[in-house]
Structure 1
Amino acid sequence: MTTQNSILSLPNELIAEITVASQNGDDEKTKSELILSSICRRFRDAVISAPELWTKVEMEATSERSVNLSQLYLERSAAREVWITLRAFGVGDVRKTSGLLQLTPHLTRISRLTVASDYFLDLEGILDIFSNVAVPSLRHFEVVKEGPGFPDSSYRIPEDLFSVGAPRLSSLSLSYCSTGAPGQWMNSITHIDLKNAASLTNGCREIFTDITSQLPLLTDLNLDMSRFETMEGTGISSRCLTHIRLDHCGDDTRALLDILSCFDTPALSDLTLYECHGDQISVLFNSDSTQFKSSFSALASLSCVQKEPEPETTQCKDNEDVYPHYQTIASPPIHLFPRLSSWSLINQCFTARMLTETLGRNSRPWPLLQTVTVWPLGPDIDAVYDILREVVQWKRESQEAVPKLRLSQSLFLREYWVENGVDVELVEAFT
């Protein structure tokens, strides 16, 4: 094979690497396919003849330069499915940007569509071309309004969006906007992410009811709880939901209990709670059937996460004067989560106490628990390490199974684990 032919025939592995490198670029100056196509004629011919490299189209809708570059990508991607990102930021009238019309012949091959704009810019100018059309290849749709937003002023997506059909659409992500009236294109949604005051048809207060009635096939739900003042009289009932992530679970000690009591999701296997607190976990774990009426009989994984704790949060530790509502956990919450096999505590206050009370010498066995993930707050590392050692020793003395430990680096590097043959795994990041 000649040098020219070897260049012109790019291997699939190289195409994949170039594509990943390009996706990490911020603009056309750092996109690998553009850089390679400008090196020499042979590289240019080889890169242009690989349509896989041109399937990620990013257009700033108010920039003629960006519009022209997008047209180049659309041409070179040939008949491949494409990812389209449309942005409208700063000044400019989107309606006067004729470049958007160039997307019309390619609507049938869009597999992923992201639309983003300043909060104060109108999105209709971008979304007009998706009204009264069919998008048969579309799988993921995302709308992001950036900037300050309020629930009563969130943007409403046009009711005739994708009205001719979006049969393969399964994933929807919204920020500071709602879908207005329900559309047929929502019937096939299995994954939904609602954040920053996003909602479906009737605003935040009716979001639970809307999810139940409008998304019959939903399996994965990411929901921002920060706009919910009360959940009284609301609830989500679903026999399909298997994965739920709730963000901003409130500050009241009963907030977590009240939120989870709204869910009737017997198939749920994975639950992640972001921005919850140790005292809320203790209230939840101590609740009985009169307080906690939801069904989580299939739940296998529970993660309790503080993403970026405030400095004062790291000082609470066991100070009952500051946090007087922590309740000693009487026993593992087997009655709430009978099939739980994985439990994660990330940046949680009271981690040492919770581990002692659920896994320690005086606790009841947690029969199905196989994996415990622990990422303690800085001031608590030594206390958590001591408790985990005690748990391992006690389990072995009692001839009980020692759960696998997934640990932050500060805990993982302790020599005790290697010396005593403990099954440990390093957790390098938790997002």
Structure 2
Amino acid sequence: MSSGGILSLPNELLIAIATAGQGGSVAVQQLRPEWSLSQVCRRFRDIIVGAPVLWTLIELDLHSDMLADIANLYFTRSQACHLRTILRECKDTDDELIAERLSVIVPHIHRIRQLRIFLFANPQIALAPLRHVAAPNLERLEIRNTLEAFEMNPVEIFSLGAPMLTFICMKCITPHFPVPWAAALTHLKLHRDGEWRDSSSSLAATITTQCLCLAHLSLSVVYLEMGRLHLPFLERLHIEIPEEDQHHLLAIFDLFDTPALAEFTISGTHADQILVLFNSTSLPHSSFPALTSLTFVNGSCACRVIPADAHPITSAPRLFPALSSLSLIHQCFTPHLVTGIFASASTWPLLQTLTLCPPGHRSLDDVCEALWNARHAKARTLPKVRLSAPLLARILSREKEEEEKSGMDMEFFDPSQLISAFR
């Protein structure tokens, strides 16, 4: 398009182009579309500056000396519009300086609908400006701290209320429970690394008594030392077990009274505990009548020998009568699990999909062999198998070598999509 053509764009189209360009996140303010387009000519500047909707996404570097000036420019040009605000800190910024710069947004907190903060700091100091504050229109809050200081005390934020808050994600930061903004929560993610422990039952009590609308919950198991959770409307649950922890799966499952739960994902599991879970017939306090999807994820498992007391799977898990989808991601002893599942396939009446992503390459041949042998299982139609790229390639290679089809319904599965969903 010629220069004259660009300059002749209708006002509405120019604003639409600038709005579309705001979909990505950039670190340098001058590269944002509202900045670059406003510098093309006087007409463009008048249009862009006069469109409040283009100044509602505020991205600020907390280490920048220009933060206050840039923030005030956005607060002014956005007029009365609701805001989305992203604040980032580099590692070398002083905690008290972070707090001072974070305080710039406090007078405008009533306009902020979404707030994301990325820290490398002591959160009790850095987040102090948000302590005795009300956020009446805040709907989504995300705070991620990469400073792994496990001894830090819980942080109090928005003590004057945030009645519209439905989504919270916090990493390496613990809110001070009970909180005055839990009633509307539908999504809650709290994750910590390492061996930090919650020293009270306040979290479990708060979630059970206040988060009555909670539908999606993602927690590190270290938050669940002191209590059980009764969540009648919870639909999706993700629990993360630290690598050094030795929590037993049966004890973890028995913490949840969640009759509506449909999807359950546990990270940090081992095959011997999965076998015990599958062979169990009941839990003292919990049941999962609506659970249709169950996923076990492991990271870098070093297990080499399966324990002698890990009994093979003899039937479908009675604990999960509605289970239709089972996923084993980077799970140790995947061949052992696959053999047991297919050997008892006739007793899994609703199982439709089995997703497999073995750890590394050392077990690919064994998993391939277990799947190949499943063709001869005298059972009902086998479930569809979703396979990681290396495993699918190994199966297809074997089909080619032996000039024989496996007879399985197979498709590709990318495990990175599942794992990144909980980061």
Matches within 5 A, 1:270-419: 270-289=263-282, 293-306=285-298, 308-310=299-301, 312-313=302-303, 316=304, 319-320=305-306, 323-333=307-317, 335-360=318-343, 362-377=344-359, 378-391=361-374, 393-394=375-376, 398=379, 400-413=380-393, 414-415=395-396, 416=399
On the 8 A contact 1:359/1:365 being kept in 2, the answer is no
Q: Which residue of 1 aligns with 2:411?
A: 425
Deviation of 1:260 (Å)? 0.9
Matches within 5 A, 1:63-74: 63-74=64-75
On the 8 A contact 1:81/1:111 being kept in 2, the answer is yes
User: What is the CA–CA distance in structure 2 between the aligned matches of 1:116 and 1:287, rounded to whole Å?
Assistant: 43
On the 8 A contact 1:64/1:99 being kept in 2, the answer is no
Deviation of 1:250 (Å)? 6.2
1:266-313 deviation line (CA, Å, top 9, x unaligned): 111110001111111111111222x5542111101100001x315x34
Matches within 5 A, 1:3-402: 3-6=6-9, 8-10=11-13, 14-15=17-18, 17-21=20-24, 23=25, 25-28=26-29, 30-39=31-40, 41=42, 44=45, 47-48=48-49, 51-61=52-62, 63-87=64-88, 90-91=93-94, 93-94=96-97, 97=100, 100-101=103-104, 103-104=106-107, 106-120=108-122, 122-127=125-130, 131-133=132-134, 135-151=135-151, 153-158=152-157, 161=158, 163=160, 165-196=161-192, 203=199, 205-226=201-222, 231=225, 234-248=227-241, 255-289=248-282, 293-306=285-298, 308-310=299-301, 312-313=302-303, 316=304, 319-320=305-306, 323-333=307-317, 335-360=318-343, 362-377=344-359, 378-391=361-374, 393-394=375-376, 398=379, 400-402=380-382
How many residues align? The count is 401
User: What is the CA–CA distance in structure 2 between the aligned matches of 1:12 and 1:367, rounded to whole Å?
Assistant: 55
Deviation of 1:326 (Å)? 3.0
User: What is the CA–CA distance in structure 2 between the aligned matches of 1:95 and 1:383, rounded to whole Å?
Assistant: 53
Moved more, 212-221 or 44-53: 44-53
Q: Which runs of 5+ in 2 are unaligned?
A: none
User: CA separation of 1:125/1:262 partners in 2, compared to 1, >3 Å: closer, same or farther?
Assistant: closer
Give TM-score, length-normalised by structure 1: 0.80
User: CA separation of 1:206/1:155 partners in 2, compared to 1, >3 Å: closer, same or farther?
Assistant: closer
User: What is the CA–CA distance in structure 1 between the aligned matches of 2:287 and 2:6, rounded to whole Å?
Assistant: 64
Deviation of 1:111 (Å)? 1.1
User: CA separation of 1:70/1:325 partners in 2, compared to 1, >3 Å: closer, same or farther?
Assistant: farther
Deviation of 1:180 (Å)? 2.6
User: What is the CA–CA distance in structure 2 between the aligned matches of 1:8 and 1:55, rounded to whole Å?
Assistant: 18
User: CA separation of 1:253/1:64 partners in 2, compared to 1, >3 Å: closer, same or farther?
Assistant: closer
Give TM-score, length-normalised by structure 2: 0.82
1:336-375 deviation line (CA, Å, top 9, x unaligned): 1000111100011111111111123x54431111111111
User: What is the CA–CA distance in structure 2 between the aligned matches of 1:155 and 1:116, rounded to whole Å?
Assistant: 17
User: What CA RMSD, in Å, does the superposition of the two structures yield over aligned residues?
Assistant: 3.4
1:123-162 deviation line (CA, Å, top 9, x unaligned): 354315xx343x33211123344313224x224214xx25
User: What is the CA–CA distance in structure 2 between the aligned matches of 1:371 and 1:292, rounded to whole Å?
Assistant: 29
Q: Which runs of 5+ in 1 are unaligned?
A: none
User: What is the CA–CA distance in structure 1 between the aligned matches of 2:371 and 2:206, rounded to whole Å?
Assistant: 43
What residue identity is the alignment partner of 2:238? R
User: What is the CA–CA distance in structure 1 between the aligned matches of 2:256 and 2:238, rounded to whole Å?
Assistant: 12
What percent of counterpart residues are identical? 29
User: What is the CA–CA distance in structure 1 between the aligned matches of 2:315 and 2:242, rounded to whole Å?
Assistant: 23
User: What is the CA–CA distance in structure 2 between the aligned matches of 1:136 and 1:375, rounded to whole Å?
Assistant: 44
On the 8 A contact 2:99/2:129 being kept in 1, the answer is no
> The residue matched to 2:238 in structure 1 has which SS?
strand
